[in-house]
Amino acid sequence: MSKLTKLTLRGYKSIKDATIEFGAMNVLIGANGAGKSNLISFFRMISEMMAGRFQVYVGVNGRGHAFVHHGTGTLYGFDSSLMVESEDWATKYFAKWANTSGDTLLFDYEAVSYQNKDAPNERSEYPLPSGRFESGLALPFLDPILKTIDPLIGFLNKLGVYHFHDTTVTSRMKQIGYVASHTPLLHDGGNIAAFLYNLSFADLPSYRRIVSTVQLIAPFFRDFYLEPQMPSCSEVTLNWRHIDSDQVFGPHQLSDGTLRAICLIALLLQPVEKLPSLIVVDEPELGLHPYALNVIAALFQKAASHTQVLISTQSSAFLDQFQPEDVIVVNRTRDGTTFTRPDTQKLEAWLEEYSLGEVWDKNIIAGGPH
């Protein structure tokens, strides 16, 4: 399995210059405005880039200047370096983006490199065409080296960045969806009904695990009722049944917290081979009951044994469910956002009397507003 081991970001939003090392589980903590969401947005940008939607993403998220540290007055662009490693290979993607006069971003420089771990002194680098408005990673000329950098390409193509916060009446989770649009689970949960409907046929044990886990946090819930709608039978809605009734209820009759929990549970309990290469979720605790937090945290930990997880949280109760070595402390200084790992040895004495969340509340590991 390919894993992201290191990311360097320079000049991106609040991040002037930072290098972050990643493990299986990575939990971002920090005050509002520290830069947690900026890091998560970078992975969303990469995901959209790999899908050929880079310019669309830039356009709907503030245009070029919104991505550059302190705007265009400080730096003309930003750059990044991602290290992805498999058992045999160490691969890297490097890119430098420039802000144009039209206030968009272009790829000023792109390159991929790889190194066989059995021959550490042999390293190859391939620059990609520069001056493009979309990434060169999908260009045909890459085919001869595609097998060599497959760990990198595969990892970037399977990034999953999720934001299940929108539970308003217009939320896509609550709307009618097409049965055929079932995989992968969309970043906003917009195809959750089709995703679950397909899973009930393709992998019934996984579907049943999802249902039983939803029942843990919503005791009133019996099962989903995912019957395609007439006349074409090509549309499906997230309908469900109550444990004490045969009436069919709709997604608008689920609480916001229950709806978000359903999306998180479906994401984390899908078949292992379908899991994203990196699961990224911003504040998954939003709207969840403390007991539900425990269940969701356990699912994240289980998923981290098969893939990588990056989450941010503002909840000390949620943080209690993780280990100090999972934590990345995010702070904002005059020089920009910083990312540091806490000194676990120094925390040992504190953790004999307090939980990890309480230690954070006391600002022992920083990352707080005071």
pLDDT above 70 (res 139): no
Residues 153-190: pLDDT tens digits? Answer: 889 999 999 999 999 999 999 999 899 888 899 999 99
Which domains can be identified in the chain, with CATH numbers?
1-158+323-370 (3.40.50.300)
Write out the two tokens for 320. Answer: 């209690």
Write out the two tokens for 26. Answer: 């990575």
Q: How far is CA 237 from CA 193, 203, 223, 240, in A?
A: 6, 19, 13, 9
Residues 22-46: pLDDT tens digits? Answer: 999 999 999 999 999 999 999 999 9
pLDDT above 90 (res 236): yes
Residues 86-137: pLDDT tens digits? Answer: 888 888 999 999 988 889 999 999 999 888 877 777 678 888 888 899 998 8
User: Across residues 252-278, what is the average pLDDT?
Assistant: 96
- Percent of the chain at pLDDT exceeding 70: 94
What secondary structure, in 3-state letters, does the chain show? CCEEEEEEEEEECCEEEEEEECCCEEEEEECCCCCHHHHHHHHHHHHHHHCCCHHHHHHHCCCHHHHECCHHHCCCEEEEEEEEECCCEEEEEEEEEEECCCCCEEEEEEEEEEEECCCCCCEEEEEECCCECCCHHHCHHHHHHHCCCHHHHHHHHCEEEECCCCCCCCCHHHCCEECCCCCCCCCCCCCHHHHHHHHHHHCHHHHHHHHHHHHHHCCCEEEEECCCECCCCCEECCEEEECCCCCEECHHHCCHHHHHHHHHHHHHCCCHHHCCCEEEEECCCCCCCHHHHHHHHHHHHHHCCCCEEEEEECCHHHHCCCCHHHEEEEEEECCEEEEECCCHHHHHHHHCCCCHHHHHHCCCCCCCCC
pLDDT class of 1 with cuts at 50, 70, 90: confident
